[in-house]
Structure 1
Amino acid sequence: MLVEYFCRRCGSHMATLNLPAVSEAALGLHALTPEERADIITFDALAERMRVKSICDECAAATRAGGDRKPRLFH
C-alpha cells in the first residue's frame, strides 16, 4: 500500500512510503480521534493508497514566525 504525506497548508508532497502492509498503529495514527482521522486521512481502496495531511517544515516555520501567513517559498 502507498502512504503519501502532503502538507495541508501549501499542498506540497512530503513523502511516499510503499509498504506491503500498513496499520494506523504502525504509523502512529491510532491515537487520533474519529474527527481527526476523518480530517487527516483519506483512503483510496481501489488504488491501495492512503493520503495523510500534515504540515511541512516550511509551513511550520512560517506559522511560528508570522501566524497564519502563507510561506513565500514555492516547493
Structure 2
Amino acid sequence: IDTPGPDLSQEAEQRGLGNAIASTMALMARLDVPSVSVIIGEAGSGGALALGVADRTLMLENATYSAVSPED
C-alpha cells in the first residue's frame, strides 16, 4: 500500500468514492483465503484502510499508516 489518501471533495463523494471504499473493506473482510497487506510508503485515510483489511499487515521501516492523511 502506498497511497496518500482519497480525494475528499464533494465531487468525489458524488461519484461514489465513499461507497467504493466501504465496498472494498467489506469484500476484503469476507475473503476466505489468507490475506497480507504490505505498507511500503505513505498509507493514509480511507484508501489505505480499505486495502489494509487483512489477516496480517506488514510495514517497511520508514512507512507510515494513519486513519487520516497527514495533509488533512
Q: Determine which structure has greater relative contact order: mean sequence separation of CA pairs < 8 Å that are 6+ residues apart, divided by chain length.
A: 2
Q: Normalising to structure 2: TM-score of the pair?
A: 0.23
The structure where helix makes up a greater share of residues is 2
The structure where strand makes up a greater share of residues is 1
